[in-house]
Amino acid sequence: MQFKMALTACTLAIASLAAPAQAQDVTLKVHFHLPQTSYASTLFIQPWCEKIAKESNNKMKCQIYPSMQLGGTPPQLFDQVRDGVADVVWTLPGYTAGRFPSLEAFELPFMMQKPEATSRALWEYAQIHSQKEFKDVHPLAFHVHGPGVFHMTGKPVKTMADLRGLKMRAPTRLTNKFIAMLGATPVSMPVPQVGDALSKGVIDGAVVPYEVVPSVKIQELVKYHSETDPAAAAFYTSTFLFAMNKAKYESLPPDLKKVIDANSGEALSGQIGKAFVQADAEGKKLTANNTTNVIAATELATWQKLGDKLSADWIKDMSGKGLDGKKMLDDAKSLIAKQAAKTTP
């Protein structure tokens, strides 16, 4: 009888020890700065969450917190995922100027033409040059958005002279520098602040891709949209990070880690870039009642010279930080070209 009771107790003890090792349902808190109705949410974040739920047999699900619902400001998203305030975030490293210098190679003027190919290249590049900067998180994807567009309240942009003296919103350190070189006064702010700044006349225009239009109702706040020549590289793009808390990832059982791994990396980065092309097309439809123009290639050639100077200055800046800026920029260009050659339009 005593032996039977001891055996039962032993069995219960083993069961209690084994219980935590069994796959438990996992809920990932996903935090980002745009509304849940934004294209970033509907074309990328929500589908990703649905996919990992399906492939994990619903053992792993997302709890989505759009519009900074977990608190803080957009520039704090990286720290939130690092510290475990959120399990997954989508953010722009460029919102914290100078903190992630390696990725700036992709934010220099006239680097990006195909978002899918450039996003794949960015993932590859980050594995070479950005490991140290992102060692405290588990990156899921790096990507870029589509071509930046000038959205103006008072007049279209046709030449550099049209920007002189205007206050222009720009997202990142290098884009702000380039806007200043073009003659405007740059005003740095995250996307959620753009609508209010336009409506109050704090800025005369903003550079964002068409994808952002519905998130801040830009089509209702401006009259003009000035694109750069679609046959040329974009005058700017921004880099993005989709990342998971490192401890959260490492705590996952092997089967769930496998699901995350299958939905991360170069392929996911390219898929997001492709989704942003679709988002741009949808966002542009909303501007149909406004006036749109394309800045001529001949005009952009002058801009390119300024872009080349900014690139040279950036290389010197990186050297001052102990980084090989020339190697970084050369690698970025070669990876973009390689990916563009094998990515369908």
Kindly report the CATH number assigned to the domain that includes residue 320. 3.40.190.170
Residue 2: predicted pLDDT: 44
Regarding whether 126 and 59 lie in a shared domain, the answer is yes
Regarding whether 173 and 156 lie in a shared domain, the answer is yes
Residue 237: predicted pLDDT: 95
Residue 315 lies in domain: 149-236+289-342
* Residues whose CB falls within 8 Å of the CB of residue 44, separated by 6 or more in sequence, listed in order: 90, 271, 272, 275, 276
> Is 105 domain-assigned?
no
Q: Note the residue count of the chain.
A: 345
CA–CA gap between residue 190 and residue 279 (Å, rounded):
19
Residue 22: predicted pLDDT: 47
Regarding whether 90 and 219 lie in a shared domain, the answer is no
* AA identity, residue 203: I
Regarding whether 52 and 79 lie in a shared domain, the answer is yes
Dihedral class, residue 12 (left if φ above 0, else alpha if ψ from -120 to 50, else beta) = alpha
The tally of domains found in the chain comes to 2
Regarding whether 329 and 199 lie in a shared domain, the answer is yes
Regarding whether 122 and 67 lie in a shared domain, the answer is yes
Decide: pTM greater than 0.85. yes
> Is 269 domain-assigned?
yes
> Is 215 domain-assigned?
yes
Residue 10: predicted pLDDT: 45
CA–CA gap between residue 292 and residue 120 (Å, rounded):
30
* AA identity, residue 72: G
Residue 345: predicted pLDDT: 58
Regarding whether 219 and 80 lie in a shared domain, the answer is no
> Is 195 domain-assigned?
yes
The answer to whether 150 and 293 have CB atoms below 8 angstroms apart is no
Regarding whether 192 and 91 lie in a shared domain, the answer is no
Query: Which stretches of the chain drop beneath a pLDDT of 50?
Result: 1-22
Regarding whether 186 and 70 lie in a shared domain, the answer is no
The predicted-structure confidence for 257-266, as pLDDT tens digits, reads as follows: 999 999 999 9
